[in-house]
Amino acid sequence: MASTRTTDEETTGGQPALKRVMGPGLLLLFIVGDVLGTGIYALTGTVAAEVGGVVWLPFLVAFLVALITAFSYLELVTKYPQAAGAALYTHKAFGIHFVTFLVAFAVMSSGITSASTAARAFSENAAEVFEVDINGWGITFIGLGFMTLVAAVNLRGVGESVKSNVVLTCVELSGLLIVIGVGAWALFGGDGDFGRVTEFDTGDKGVLAGVIAATGLAFFAMVGFEDSVNMAEECKEPRRIFPKVLLTGLLITGLIYVLVSISAIALVPADQLSDPDTPPLLRVVEAGAPDFPLSLFGVITMFAVANTALINMLMASRLVYGLAKERVLPPQLGRVLPHRRTPWTAILFTTALAFGLITFVGEVPALGGTTALLLLIVFTVVNVAVLVLRRDPVDADHFRTPTVLPVVGALACGFLATPFSGREGEQYRIAGVLLAIGVLLWLVTVFVNKRTGGGPSGFDPAHLGGEAPHGPRN
């Protein structure tokens, strides 16, 4: 493994490599904390509306699809242990700048739709916790105010220390463990109806069609693991630790989600769980443990979805900053505050897009479904890239996934991204508008580059977000 150590310590372009501080434990916490969040808190009721009592099944299928795709990411991250993730793999596999840009912009857009989903979920939970009778535009205004606060924190800078990641992960996890504990208490106390967990109710759809449609929504709860590959340059011995840690993290989160959904449906019938007026897991805790302080659980839920929004807006703004620095987006989007050293124009741009989504889309299922749609497209490309890059051997040992898995992963992710999976047309319209904005900005940049003699001829996707401003953040 001597060659791996040399690679880990080398510098790039005369600049020192990122500091390798994450061992297996911290990487596991990062993965678990990144996957846990808004999806299971906000969409359990929507999934139940699609399939009835077997609400756990779409989460299980989504977990299996994510797991198959994770094997593709493992081969690529151990083969190319650099930051930039899907954009880097796409560029190495196909070498087409525009395709690389589309993948990078799709990842950025998924972050914004995910954060907008979290903002909407935050608003609904806040209204329930503080017993404020508002809906419609009231929820929208709270969401906009919340997103403004996220932008302010983003502009000031966020100190992303190991301790804060541990705390955030524990808070998110605690809410889900409470639901599982309440379900277990009901099971042993004879209060819950666990017979519901095998009941199908797909309405006018067939059983298979209903499960597939619900899986497309539930997939939103499993995303986040792909972000961990962006930490490759900050992990100790990434080629050695990534396979075991990533698979362990996914197994932990998959098990938690299945147990949470079983507990939920055992305590609350599907028609009540899918009631949009009350956050689903809050209703579960209320039904199974009426003496539990619901306001405390509501605050935990708000904290979990707030963390999801902040992480995704940080990622999206830094990705826009990186694209602007590489001159594949207007360079004005790469401007930095002189004292805070944060990418203020990129933050304002991504926040403006989030404002538009919260105002003109608003509904959690549409936003969450769009996030899943964008990432399913990206995952399809990544699964194909694994097979293409088999022609590019590297002088280092790395994980190799069985060939059948990326083939199945590409087919499964590709299918779930099509209208045949029962995906609603609104999700395609939202994704299309976001990508159209990106393409328009790209065309403007190409025109300006030609006029000024600049251009992204040396476009390196490894720099996307990798050179985000550093400095005082607290």
Query: Which segments of 52-161 does DSSP mark as H helices, in order?
Result: 56-79, 85-94, 97-129, 137-156
Q: Which residues of 335-345 are buried (b: 16+ CB within 10 A; e: fewer)?
A: ebbeeeebbbb
Give whole-number Cα distances, 315 to 202, 272, 343, in Å. Answer: 36, 35, 12
Cα radius of gyration rounded to whole Å, the chain: 22
pTM of the model: 0.84
Contact present, 34 and 70 (Cβ < 8 Å): no
Q: Select 20-463's CATH number: 3.20.20.70, 2.70.98.10, 1.20.1740.10, 3.30.310.80.
A: 1.20.1740.10
What is the residue extent of each domain of the chain?
20-463
pLDDT in tens, the chain (474 residues): 444 444 444 444 444 444 565 678 878 877 887 788 778 887 898 899 999 999 999 999 999 999 999 999 999 988 988 766 788 899 899 988 889 889 989 999 998 999 998 898 888 888 877 777 777 788 889 999 999 998 988 887 645 444 455 676 788 889 899 999 999 988 888 788 888 999 999 988 889 999 999 998 899 888 888 777 766 666 777 778 888 888 999 999 999 999 999 999 999 999 899 887 778 888 899 888 888 888 888 888 888 888 788 878 888 888 888 888 878 888 888 888 877 777 889 999 999 999 999 998 867 778 888 999 999 999 999 999 999 999 988 888 888 999 999 999 999 999 999 999 989 899 999 999 999 999 999 998 888 878 776 665 556 776 665 444 333 333
Helix (H, G, I), strand (E, B) or coil at 22: strand
